Amino acid sequence: QFDEMVYMDKLTTTGQMAASIAHEIRNPITTVRGFIQFMQQDTVDEKLKQFSPLILEELDRTNMIITNYLKLAKPEPFELSNVNIDKILMDSIELLRPLGTFSNVTLEYDNAENCYVKGDTQHIKQSLLNVIKNAIESIDKRGVVKISNLVDYQNEVVTIVIKDNGKGMTKDELKQIGLPFYTTKTKGTGLGSMITNRLIRQLGGTIDYESELGKGTTVTITFQLVSKKS
């Protein structure tokens, strides 16, 4: 699914990025400006309280967009070592639990075996956060995201499965995951999956998406197994 990127001319990518950055960053900044102007005009203690979460949300969003673009432009260095995948999974899930609760999505983790994989903690965590966040965001009203990991001794890999019962994707949509700026969300950046795919490949892992429209999506990630015990 990534071959298409080979055909993308670097100049085109840079141009697209510049346009997209300008566009994406202007929207939240306009919102923030509006609120700040409003505050100057009025005696606004209570209003300030009322709108400050919105202001923060927009600022955080701006920050996230910039961070994502920077990651895209300048890949962070990483070190391969033996990392406890179970712990990284639990940390990632806990980080996203508030978002899950807010979205009426239950995060279930089938805590299987404690094992180590070859990788980089930050890279793996970033990848898992992106994938689990997408799973949560795919669910409209309420739903479940099931996460499990299992050790495949024969192939010496650890397989992590992230399964949601969200809106799913058509074959055509599935093909576009991971292409820069591909998003179907009004507040999406279309960069999460691209970064995820790159990070996982850098670590020698694999990522695979399966999806059925209206039923949900299953993302399967593998990392190289190091040893079983902690």
Site of interaction with ligand ADP (CB under 6 A): 130, 134-135, 138, 164, 166-169, 177, 182-185, 188-194, 217
Work out whether 134 is an interface residue with Mg ion (CB under 5 A). Answer: yes
Rounded Cα–Cα distance for residues 12 and 23 (Å): 16
Binding segment for Mg ion (CB under 5 A), chosen from 24-32, 74-82, 140-148, 185-193, is 185-193
Q: In the bound complex, what is the minimum distance in angstroms from residue 139's beta carbon to ligand ADP?
A: 8
The tokens describing 131, both together, are 């994938």
In the complex with ligand ADP, which residue's Cβ is closer, 159 or 165?
165
Alpha carbons 214 and 219: distance in angstroms, whole number? 16
Residues contacting Mg ion: total by CB under 5 A: 2
Nearer to ligand ADP, 83 or 124 (CB): 124
Which residue blocks in the chain are alpha helix, DSSP H? 3-6, 10-41, 45-73, 85-102, 121-137, 171-176, 192-202
Decide: is 192 part of the binding site for Mg ion (CB under 5 A): yes
- Mention every residue, 6+ apart, whose C-beta is less than 8 A from residue 146: 108, 110, 161, 162, 163, 164
Nearest residue (CB) to Mg ion, 134 versus 217: 134
Q: Which is nearer to Mg ion, 55 or 174 (CB)?
A: 174
Question: Which SS3 state, helix, strand or coil, does residue 93 take?
Answer: helix
Task: Kindly list the residues in this chain that would bind Mg ion in the complex (CB under 5 A).
Answer: 134, 192
